[in-house]
Structures are given as C-alpha cells and as structure tokens.
C-alpha cells in the first residue's frame, strides 16, 4: 500500500466510510463454466485488491458484506465452502493487513460459526486493535435486521437493570448500540453484480448514504472500477434533507405569499 492520501472530511471528495456488497461471484464462475467455488475464490482476490485500492484512495473505513444471515440458506456444501474459504483467507491475509496498519472488526451473528473460526476472528481483532491507518469491517452472518434487533435487546436489558431509562433512547443512543455504532455512517455504498437492492445489509446506517450500483460482477471489480465509483460520489450533492437558501425568496415573504407565487 502506498502512503495514504490525506482523507477528506465526510461529505468531501473521498468517502470516509465505504460499504460494499460484493455480489456476482457465482455468475462470474457460471459465465466461465466453472463451479461457483471458483467465483468465490476469485472474489477473495478482488476483496484483497479493493482493500489496497481503498487505502491508496484515502478511504478510512471499509465495510465488506461477505456472508449474509440469509446466505445460511444456501446449499450446505456452498455454506461449508464459504466458511472454509473465509477461514483460510483470514489466516493468509492477516499478517499483511496488520503490517499495513489495518484494524479489523467482524460484525454479525457469529454464534453459528465453528469455534475455531470464532477464535481466529477474536485473535485477529485483538492483534490489530491498535492499528489506525484504516478500519476494515467484515460483515459475516450479518443482517441489518439482526443488527437492529441485537441493539434493541441490549438497550432493553440496560433498561431492565436500571442503567438506562427508556426515555434516554434517542437516535444517537440507538445508533451507538449497533455493530458499527462507534464509526461514522457510510458515505458511499457500492453493490456490484447488477441487482439494485440492499439485501438486508446496513439498514439503519444507510439512511443517507449515496447508493452506487454497477453491473460488474464482483471478481471483475478492480481499482479502475473503484475510481469510477469514487468519481461518481465526488459529483453528488449530499443534502441530508436540508435545502440551500433560496435568494429569490425575500426574508420578509411569508409562507402564504411564497406558496401563492408558485401556485
Ligand atoms: C456474492 O456472490 C458472494 C456471497 C453472497 C457469499 P454470489 O454467490 O451471490 O454470486 P451470484 O449473485 O450468485 O452471482
Ligand atoms: C448479498 O448478496 C450478500 C453478500 C454479498 C454477502 P446475495 O447474493 O446473498 O443477495 P440476493 O440473494 O441477490 O439478494
Ligand atoms: Mg448474489
């Protein structure tokens, strides 16, 4: 990874937080008459390249959707392959990630994963906990609804013990209980693979994220494709529901006059 470009503030040229649905591995493999597994292997390479390209671009936080809560419903052999691949990729990439100053976090319901993998996950988080060059969040066994439910359950438990009163649960407090509650919300979301949907990714967090969809299948998504998405993002006008001052409306105009003028 080259030296990081100084990142822009949120809403500036470079998204501070990028969230990605890496979709299309199976179709990539099908198009080459290969088994889906080959697509997933190629997908891991694309993910590795993306981490590097994001570091070069100055993205400070990258969240990758690797395995959804619904992906458990895929055929058993595909689920087993994905879990195995995930474990191997973690083992192979960890040193490089650590050497590059990347802090890892895994978000999702990890209870269904094998003990060995869960152990490796917490070791990786512990090893990289002090790194501050870039944050890499991997969503595995993750669902946006699960995340909202686990936050609600945790807050309800704090109310039960009297640590918190129900009236204190405002938007900030609730957001803080989500898996990525200590990070800024994603500025840019990318989904590859042609589908225009969120598929139960970060439901709360994407409220004001810029959404970018492209047809490129995930294994083909490279630094050039990322640059295209970042250029698109840089051209967005993020309003967050607000409006610019309209100078054609005088300060003394009242609401009825303005409404009449536009009737
Ligand atoms: C994304 O690729 C990887 C995971 C969901 C694990 P897919 O496996 O969904 O590939 P397509 O969408 O079937 O092509
Ligand atoms: C979303 O892709 C999940 C991941 C990329 C991990 P899916 O392929 O599972 O989503 P759907 O089925 O097209 O909605
Ligand atoms: Mg898919």
**CB proximity list for 116: less than 8 A, separation 6 or greater:** 87
Residues 144, 150, 153, 159: what is their CA dihedral angle, to the nearest 10 degrees?
-100
Q: Per the domain annotation, does 210 fall within a domain?
A: yes
Catalytic residue among 30, 71, 100, 131: 71
Q: Per the domain annotation, does 160 fall within a domain?
A: yes
Query: Which of 27, 42, 64, 221 has most ligand 1 atoms within 8 Å of its beta carbon, as the pocket-test mutant?
Result: 27
Residues 163, 206, 16, 223: what is their CA dihedral angle, to the nearest 10 degrees?
140
What one-character-per-residue DSSP string does 84-149 give? HHHHHHHHHHHHHHHHTTEEEEEES-GGGS-HHHHHHHHHHHHHTTT--SEEEEEEEEE-HHHHHH
Q: Per the domain annotation, does 4 fall within a domain?
A: no
Q: What is the pLDDT of residues 149-181, one digit of tens each?
A: 999 999 999 999 999 999 999 999 999 999 999
Let me know if 116 is exposed, middle or buried by CB neighbors in 10 A (0-12, 13-18, 19+). exposed
Instruction: Output the pLDDT for position 245.
Output: 79
Cα distance between residue 213 and residue 193, in whole Å: 8
Cα distance between residue 234 and residue 188, in whole Å: 10
Are 135 and 60 contacting, i.e. CB atoms less than 8 angstroms apart?
yes
- Residues near ion ligand 3 (CB < 5 Å) are 23
Are 17 and 233 contacting, i.e. CB atoms less than 8 angstroms apart?
no
Cα distance between residue 28 and residue 179, in whole Å: 31
The three-state secondary structure class of 37 is helix
What are the strands of the beta sheet with 102-107, ordered from one edge? 102-107, 134-142, 61-68, 17-21, 188-191, 210-213
Cα distance between residue 156 and residue 162, in whole Å: 10
Task: Tell me phi and psi for residue 138, to 5 degrees.
Answer: -110, 120
71 is catalytic: yes
Helices 115-127 and 76-99 pack at an angle, to 10 degrees, of 20
Q: Per the domain annotation, does 171 fall within a domain?
A: yes
Instruction: Output the pLDDT for position 244.
Output: 82
Let me know if 237 is exposed, middle or buried by CB neighbors in 10 A (0-12, 13-18, 19+). exposed
Q: What is the pLDDT of residues 54-86, one digit of tens each?
A: 999 999 999 999 999 999 999 999 999 999 999
Q: Per the domain annotation, does 8 fall within a domain?
A: no
Structure token digits, residue 122:
């917490």
Q: Per the domain annotation, does 2 fall within a domain?
A: no
- Give the bridge partners for 68, in sequence order: 142
Instruction: Output the pLDDT for position 5.
Output: 40
Q: Per the domain annotation, does 200 fall within a domain?
A: yes
Ligand 2: residue whose CA is nearest its atom 8: 23
Residues near ligand 1 (Cβ within 6 A) = 22-27, 67, 71, 82, 193
Tell me, what CATH number does 143's domain have? 3.40.1180.10
Are 189 and 210 contacting, i.e. CB atoms less than 8 angstroms apart?
yes
Q: Per the domain annotation, does 132 fall within a domain?
A: yes
23 is catalytic: yes
Instruction: Output the pLDDT for position 47.
Output: 98
Number of domains making up the chain: 1
Name the residue range of residue 209's domain: 14-262
**Residue ranges, the chain, pLDDT below 70:** 1-12, 247-263
């Amino acid at each position: 990874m080259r030296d990081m470009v100084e990142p822009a503030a949120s809403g500036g040229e470079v998204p501070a937080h990028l969230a990605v649905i890496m979709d299309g591995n199976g179709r990539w493999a099908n198009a080459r008459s290969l088994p889906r597994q080959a697509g997933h292997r190629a997908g891991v390479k694309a993910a590795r390249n993306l981490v590097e390209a994001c570091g070069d671009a100055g993205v400070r936080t990258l969240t990758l959707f690797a395995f959804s809560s619904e992906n458990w419903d895929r055929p058993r052999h595909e689920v087993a392959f994905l879990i195995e691949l995930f474990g191997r990729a973690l083992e192979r990439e960890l040193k490089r990630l650590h050497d590059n100053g990347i802090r890892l976090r895994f978000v999702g319901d990890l209870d269904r994963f094998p003990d060995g993998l869960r152990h490796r996950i917490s070791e990786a988080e512990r090893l990289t906990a002090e790194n501050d060059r870039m944050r890499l969040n991997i969503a595995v066994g993750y669902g946006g609804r699960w995340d909202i439910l686990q936050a609600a359950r945790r807050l309800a438990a704090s109310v039960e013990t009297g640590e918190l009163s129900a009236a204190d649960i405002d938007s900030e407090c609730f957001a803080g209980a989500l898996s990525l509650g200590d990070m800024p919300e994603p500025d840019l979301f990318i989904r590859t693979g042609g589908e225009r949907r969120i598929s139960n990714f970060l439901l709360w967090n994407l409220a004001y994220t810029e959404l970018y969809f492209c047809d490129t299948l995930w294994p083909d998504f490279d630094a050039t494709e990322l640059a295209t998405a970042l250029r698109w993002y840089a051209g967005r006008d993020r309003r967050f529901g607000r409006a610019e001052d309209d100078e054609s409306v005088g300060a003394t105009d009242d609401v009825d006059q303005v409404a009449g003028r536009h009737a």
